[in-house]
Homo-oligomer: A and B are copies of this chain.
Amino acid sequence: MVLTAFAIAKEIGGIVDTQLNDVVITSASKLEEGNGNSLGFFSNPKYEQSLYETQCGAVIVPMGFKVQKPVSTLLIEHPNPYFAFCTILTNHFSPNLHRTGIESNHIHPSVDLGDSVHVAATAYIEEGAVLGDHSIVYPGVYLGRNVKIGKHCIIYPNVVIYSDCILGDHCIVQAGSVIGGDGFGFAPVNGKYIKIPQIGNVVIEDWVEIGSNCSIDRATMGSTVIKTGTKLDNLVQIAHNVEVGEHTVLAAQTGIAGSTKVGGYSQFGGQVGVAGHLTIAPHTSVGGQGGITGNITESHQKLTGTPATDVRTYLKSVAATRKIPELLKAIEDLQSEIENIKSSK
């Protein structure tokens, strides 16, 4: 089926002048990089000049937008051009839409496969697992015993999900991530470490996205939990029994130590570290490389540094440190002044 600018306008509920010639759309791009069959979008007035120079065949623009110069592209008006553009990308240009069928020979007969699922060759699914309708399992994925995956999930290549872990609907796990590995639990006995069996699981709620090469450990007992709508970037470490609240974003290489609870609607920068057994209030923002070493009881704080403090205190403290050489000088001056005073008496 051929996609055109008029069809796109209809799909997103946008406005287009149908007296102009329709345009076939085969790709999406930035305004600077498109060709006559590309769809672009324009929303930030700062880049208006790009609109007048674009080679894109059609561009989604804000509702009621008036051009200041002639354009050689078909305009589609929409109240939120970027959102509409993303909708078209998701619906028509996602590379994941086209996978179908069960290729793998390594699916235990007891596995419950939903409608329209795809399981690629070299994926391996153990006894008792469940895969919800429309979910996609790429090559090299391992789903352990009794793993439950909801509907409309995408599990990218070489993801490993250990036994008994549960994912909700509309979850995405990028390649190489490991969900449900043993928590880091060892009891010291006479200078050696005895492994504490980790018999809990990981529960991931709906609309969660996990980046690539993340490690989310199973609970010692009970569950490690990632709540609805939360997004993890790449190489993130979530230790056993951690709970990450809803609609939270954790940037790359962040690590949360065992049993800590991160409140919902929080935003952590890259390489943030949080110590174990803490409670972090909802709506907490932490700057990159910040280290949280105590409970955060008040919500809506913006923290940074190690140990993390609020951003203003941190900036003052950085500025203050740089003033120490001045202080040294000031003290020396005072000392000679006093010597002068004493000797002049």
Contacts and interface: CB of A to CB of B under 8 A. Distances in A.
Interface stretch (A16-24, A60-68, A87-95, A129-137): A87-95
A278 to B, nearest CB: 12
B252 A184 contact: yes
Looking at A106, A214, A270, the one whose CB has the most chain B CB atoms below 10 A away is A270
Interface in A196-216: 196-197, 199, 207, 209, 211-215
Interface stretch (A2-10, A111-119, A138-146): A138-146
22 contacts: A29-B221, A82-B187, A83-B194, A90-B197, A95-B162, A120-B124, A121-B124, A156-B162, A156-B181, A157-B160, A175-B181, A176-B177, A184-B252, A193-B229, A212-B217, A215-B252, A217-B234, A237-B252, A239-B252, A255-B270, A257-B270, A273-B289
Interface of A: 28-30, 33, 82-83, 86, 89-90, 93-95, 105-106, 120-122, 124, 138-140, 142, 144-145, 156-158, 160, 162-164, 172, 174-178, 181-182, 184, 186-187, 189, 191-197, 199, 207, 209, 211-215, 217, 221-222, 229, 231, 233-235, 237, 239, 247, 249, 251-253, 255, 257, 265, 269-271, 273, 275, 288-289, 291, 293, 306-307, 313, 316-318, 320-325, 327-328, 330-331, 334-335, 337-338, 341-342, 344-345
